[in-house]
Chain A
């Protein structure tokens, strides 16, 4: 028998970016908030001896232990889904701060186009432009409505950036100036300007100078240590939940985090949720934590898994197209080109997670799609995130994968390649969805989430088009040889791509085609908020977390309103 604990105002499932933001905003508003985190506590001091590529980047020290819980995967419904037995394509977070601790910190807003993608596309190109089977829809919120929340999240982080001429309007400049430029970035800037594009420094959560946020938390200045992506920051210079929002919540005295607490169920009586069940993984004891409001802040995969396991909302059925939970799972695609330089050697082992320069000339509808058979596009960037030697062994195409020639070329080109890359937007497709696996179980006896996903025709066309643009830039930068990424084939769970999974519990205006409203409040349980990129109706062509953070601020506002009037907010 699980032990029932005293009721609290709000319980969050997981304490990463979204859980941390809700905690800060709601605890400061006077609510009693409990954060249940399956992992352990960690602090800046834990990263001081962490410049170890093997342990952190390759053995995933900071990430989810998939021996306990993973997902299953197949490319299509005809296949048998099998467990993702080791991490690969994306790196799920675990422990205090979640994936927010080991993120890069590239903090872009989505563009006005993203939020009204369907209306804008149909208005300009007609109803036929969005092809059958693509479940593209507007978000139920506009960029202008999102703007104040972006502003709040960026202030919590102290984002370092400069005006991007093609982006949506900002109410305030970036809190801190852009990061330093480097010869590598300058090369990209020069080439893109020559081609008529408009480069700008990537908005960064690696801060250019020390900064105090709205909660009086200090974030320090980035030291360009190059162990950033997949690492925690020993300087407290990368804005993550642990240095920005969680201490703000703790200071109020209204916030308690329980570690090693793995939530196993959201308790639902058919109208409201009453709390969650969790297990203390050290003692093995089970508890029920009743709450006025439950917030799922456990990242895309588990947010969706909880809804399915607890029977909240109608699961998506790809046969009929009915149902919403698990629908519109999206990812991202990575067009790009690698430039090999025979004459120049670059300090590419130096860097920072969000150090880079981008253009948006091929984002959204910033270029004409009249004669193109895809919509949207993606940001094109060069980044200097610090190349480490185990993972980076670039060789020109005909080099064997091992032996003398491999050794020579991988050594030579380690400091002699520059890649121009893109993050291509990903649009929902009828056949790409999440549900529960019928066979495989996690360490708690619960079903694994099953992902059915493949790249679509739209993805392949977008990939081909943007790859060509990146290759042109690489050539203009003066590469001796430019090797464009090969054509997109089947999605594979093996190589790392991005941890930019989205969808499955999407937001919208209509309960028939969305799980949550624009406050991320569940249509079928008004005291349940499902917070994260799970709410994205499609994935944009830049990193997601600025939008995730902004939506968490909006959800926090929604929860405050809900606590006052106790009903659906829209």
Chain B
């Protein structure tokens, strides 16, 4: 084994190709590749195991006040609530996931075509807002706040679940007036981001402890299924994150 681990990558891949030909070798290749990467770069492995348990990352990159963040968090929780199936959006870290996404390329639409002129398009023409996603969220959250004061004279996060659902449904059904976007567009973005936060790799801030994956029996970033793919049984595997992979 020790010998194999010192192969150069290229050599390794070449050999593995031959080796995998006749036999089950898939899982073997996978773990060897993982190991080999680590041999090359031991620094990515934190020496103090406690270090990986901190949550320095749980702070605002996009939001500026707690109240707005709570409105977002309560909304996500209604989209993906805590229940007997497992944790909901808040316990999974989804609000932090969304905060971080909004602060980055996704929230700033850096990979989107954002040149004008802007016109309201047909549904089939997709996203036509002049606003970026961060701006859409900021506005949407303000609208949720205003609406919950108007309808129930309380802040959104203090409402009963069904009252919150009422408000969110109004957004989903495009009944709330928004500028430069529509409430349905905002709601769909929030819904999509919530689901992403539940199931994206935990390095992004959601899917805490891979609990999102566990609910779905999804084993995460496995390297290979060549040994299991023909199984008649449903296979439950311990999930693996990209962090695990890098530090194995």
Hey, which bits of chain A sit against chain B, CB under 8 A?
44-45, 48-49, 51-54, 58-60, 65-67, 70, 73-75, 79-80, 82-86, 88, 180-183, 209-210, 218-227, 234-237, 345-347, 349-351, 388-390, 393, 401-404, 406-408, 411, 414-415, 439-441, 490-494
Contact = CB atoms under 8 A, between A and B. Distances in A.
A403 B81 contact: yes
Interface stretch (B59-67, B122-130, B174-182): B122-130
A223 B34 CA distance: 14
B213 A389 contact: yes
B33 A48 contact: yes
A210 B221 contact: no
B45 to A, nearest CB: 14
Given A440-B115, A441-B115, A493-B124, A402 B17 contact: no
Interface stretch (B49-57, B142-150, B152-160, B196-204): B196-204
B223 interface: yes
Given A411-B85, A415-B217, A210 B223 contact: no
Contact of B195 (A83, A227, A393, A404): A393
A403 B222 contact: no
Interface of B: 9, 13-14, 16-18, 20-22, 26, 29-30, 33, 37, 78-81, 83, 85-86, 88, 105-106, 109-115, 117, 119, 121-128, 165, 168, 172, 191, 194-196, 198-201, 204, 212-213, 215-226, 228-232, 234-235, 242, 245-246
Nearest to B97: A54
Contacts of A414: 216-218
Contact of A235 (B16, B80, B235, B242): B16
Nearest 8 pairs of A and B residues by beta carbon: A220-B17, A51-B221, A223-B224, A350-B225, A492-B124, A389-B199, A210-B17, A221-B20
A234 B114 contact: no
A490 B124 contact: yes
Contacts, number: 204
Nearest to B29: A223
A435 to B, nearest CB: 17
A82 B125 contact: yes
B200 A54 contact: yes
Given A75-B124, A223-B30, A236-B17, A83 B115 contact: yes
Contacts of B234: 345-347, 415
A183 B232 contact: yes
A85 B216 contact: no
A165 to B, nearest CB: 24
25 contacts: A45-B9, A51-B221, A52-B221, A53-B199, A53-B201, A67-B114, A82-B128, A83-B113, A84-B113, A86-B113, A86-B126, A182-B229, A183-B231, A223-B20, A223-B226, A224-B225, A225-B30, A237-B17, A346-B234, A347-B234, A349-B219, A351-B225, A389-B218, A403-B81, A411-B216
